[in-house]
Structure 1
Amino acid sequence: MTTVAPLSPPATVQLSTGSLLSVRGEDGQTQVVFKYAVESIGLDYSSQLKRLRRQPWASVVITTMQLPGDAQSRDFVTVPEDTFIMWAATLQASRVSPELRPMLVAFQTESKKALHAYWTEGVAFRREGETRKVTARRMTPTLLRQIYFSDVPEGRFFQHLYDNGYLLDQRKTRRDGNGNLTKDGYRHGHPRAGKGDRYFQLPEDMWVDANGRPRGRAVVRPDRVQELVEQLIEEGLAHNPSITRGTERRAISAGNVHDVEFRRGA
């Protein structure tokens, strides 16, 4: 197994639920500390490492690094970004406890973009010891469905949001230069006044189209995730087993998934 030295100190890349410990390798590749990721979703590190080593597409290396607060450098098993994405994609939700299932979904849907953003946006200008805040991916309606209502077809899920006063439905409501109805109005997917505003908000990274109109899709208000899930259940949407224990309903938001303490050692 190859042993490498990192080009920069290790960094925590935040996701909507949980985080990844990563480092920039000497070859310029982003490496993910495998033990931290595996144990963050409640899986056994040793068995997952053995499983990974059997895969023809996997690359596993030893990276020597010094973690913040540690007095010395230590060896950690790390995997390149692409190997980590493949590993996460092959995991089944049934292997992960219900409480940590949202973190697995974040690994599978967010990690590539989050890792790329952290290590490519301004990394050349980051001074040693400097930290840079990376905004976690927000809870979009699509991600909400994937975590809590994955048995509901996506089209039906969004139709429910439109029909029940959460989001504006402006499909085929805007005419182009030839007078033909186009796919959507510029406010399609924005929160509807009243009920929609309670649970959704516009993202900070709204963009302006060629006609000077603000574009962007709504995200769930961080403090209203659980309340929204309960409301959608009351309205009849079939929810995942991950938020049901017998007759008791449970919903997990980004704010109440407990941080997992990182344990040193490869």
Structure 2
Amino acid sequence: MLQDYADGMKMNYFKKKAFLLFPPTIILAVAGGMFAEVEDSEETKKGGSVELPEGLIEALGHEDFKKRREGQNELLLWGKKDLQGGIEALYRIYREVENPEVRLRGREVLKALVILKQPLPGQGYLGIQMDTARWKDEKGMMRPAVLITDVRKGTAADLANLKANDLITGLDEVLFDDLAPTRRLADYIKSKGPGDKITLKVKRGQDHLELTASLRRRPTALDEITQWGVLPVLPQETEMDEDYFQEWLKKQREKDRKSPRD
């Protein structure tokens, strides 16, 4: 009973402090999915702060599990509307909040926003395994295609809703010929950068679809295929994301040590 009261007092104190740290401002809404294109609001670009949504931080520590999950999801949607402002606000929460449940869930949202905003040098990566195939068009002509044999979870392909056994018949303005369509697709993907969007023409059963994928960074382990002639054991996307987030946190702590704390 006393512990619940103490936790409540801490959260009320933090709520007031958070409001003072982040005065009200207008946030521009940008619709999109988890890895959809997002951008910073004009207010953040001008150096302004953002206001934490009323009640969402407290919801992260709610006694009802469902309320905690809902609060986390709503906080993520809010942060994606203004990445830079959301990251700054949630990093302050991560540094200052004492409630372990709030800290853990706030960290997950902060991590997701940091991953979305990360600069991504290198080649593009779709995240499929593939093989050559052929399909018959509406005129009865046999056409070359790329058969998807597997889709790696959490990759650009997965998020674009590509599925095993889909046939890729083209992408953007590229049409496949009989000379190694898989190589043509792979070279095109690698010619793009992380964050670039491509439109894939997909045949799924009798349906013809156009799906848009936002490419991610190509794992360096993939280059071992060429160098050693063996398939690499790729880290999971979640592991790569956690490594990047840990590096980001390290840099933030270094900045904190060099500058006086507010």
Question: Could you tell me the TM-score, scaled by structure 2's length?
Answer: 0.27
Q: Which has the higher helix share?
A: 2
Higher-RCO chain (CA-CA 8 Å, sequence separation at least 6): 1
For the pair shown, the structure with the greater C-alpha radius of gyration is 2
Question: Could you tell me the TM-score, scaled by structure 1's length?
Answer: 0.27
